[in-house]
Amino acid sequence: MDPLRRSPSPCSSRPSSPRTPPCEMLGYVGIEAVLDQLKIKAMKMGFEFNIMVVGQSGLGKSTMVNTLFKSKIWNCTPLDLGQGPVPQTLQLHSVTHVIEEKGVKLKLTVTDTPGFGDQINNDKCWDPILGYINGQYEQYLQEEILITRQRHIPDTRVHCCVYFVPPTGHCLRPLDIEFLQRLCRTVNVVPVIARADSLTIEERENFRQRIQHNLKTHCIDVYPQKCFDEDINDRILNSKIRDRIPFAVVGADQEHLVNGRCVLGRKTKWGIIEAQWS
């Protein structure tokens, strides 16, 4: 046996993946200008973002939306404050606004679900919500497969669903588990702890750990999903986000002066609770 000839290693026996050989450029082409063109086009057309908020009445869904975008997106009605009659069936209400910040336009559509979980019998109360989400997907698909389709197809698909968990301090209710198992297969779900200022820091952390255990036990895949962990930087960022799920939120739409600066928050006799995500 020739001592200079070595047996091929297991790695070398695998078929090599085809690679495109690098092309030597002889001068400036202008490929980098594509990024600027895409940016100009995106700034001119603007962006669309459709969000759905789901939760029982009185959890501050409207206030949270106003806090998140620092605008009067949704006006609080007597129904939101718990002073009006409880709807007999689940209803879907949508409102659309165009928000502009530093030349960037955002067409924001917020869909509320008043009446969810407010009845004595909440059997299949999620059907109208899932039907609406699937209907928007179907409508967009039908427009997209047309031969002579519109140049810009209106995007009414629900991009994100924020699910409000009551601050009980215990764990997810059977209604929450049953609904989230169906919802996570259809849309990106972001669970939040509503009115988190009603819990102490210790109670909030224990409540978060119990909810994380419920999500893992019942195979509820919330955003960000594992399929977004292809890049190492995205994996690190997503891991930090998953550790904070469900987010604890305190919503407020009134400004108060604190140490010489205006902050959004709720004023109590103990002080001002600044509205923030944690």
Burial of 261 (0-12, 13-18, 19+ CB in 10 A): exposed
Distance between CA atoms of residues 16 and 223, nearest Å: 36
Task: Please choose, from the candidates 6, 96, 100, 13, the residue with its C-alpha nearest in 3D space to the C-alpha of residue 50.
Answer: 96
Distance between CA atoms of residues 185 and 134, nearest Å: 11
Q: Which amino acid is present at 41?
A: K
How many CA atoms, within 13 angstroms, populate the side-chain half-sphere of residue 66? Answer: 16
Q: Taking all residues of the chain, what is their mean pLDDT, rounded to a whole number?
A: 82
Residues 100, 101, 106, 108, Cα dihedral to 10°:
-80
Residue 222: what pLDDT?
93
Peptide bond preceding 246 in cis form (omega within 30 of 0): yes
CA distances in angstroms from 250 to 58, 79, 191, 194, listed in the order given = 13, 20, 14, 7
Residue 87: what pLDDT?
55
Ranges of each domain in the chain:
61-77+86-114, 125-158, 159-277
Residue 3: what pLDDT?
45
Distance between CA atoms of residues 222 and 115, nearest Å: 23
Residue 19: what pLDDT?
63
Distance between CA atoms of residues 112 and 94, nearest Å: 6
Distance between CA atoms of residues 278 and 250, nearest Å: 9
SS3 of residue 277 by DSSP: strand
What the block records as the tokens of 210 is 């119990």
User: For the chain, which ranges sit under pLDDT 50?
Assistant: 1-14, 16-17, 78-83
Residue 161: what pLDDT?
95
CA distances in angstroms from 133 to 61, 107, 139, 143, listed in the order given = 19, 18, 10, 16
What the block records as the tokens of 228 is 């977004």
Residues 92, 108, 79, 163, Cα dihedral to 10°:
70
pLDDT in tens, 82-141: 445 555 567 788 999 888 888 888 899 999 988 888 777 788 888 999 999 999 999 999
Q: What is the pTM of this model?
A: 0.79
The pairing of strands 247-248 and 160-165 is unpaired
Q: Considering the domain 159-277 in this protein, what is its CATH number?
A: 3.40.50.300
Distance between CA atoms of residues 91 and 95, nearest Å: 13
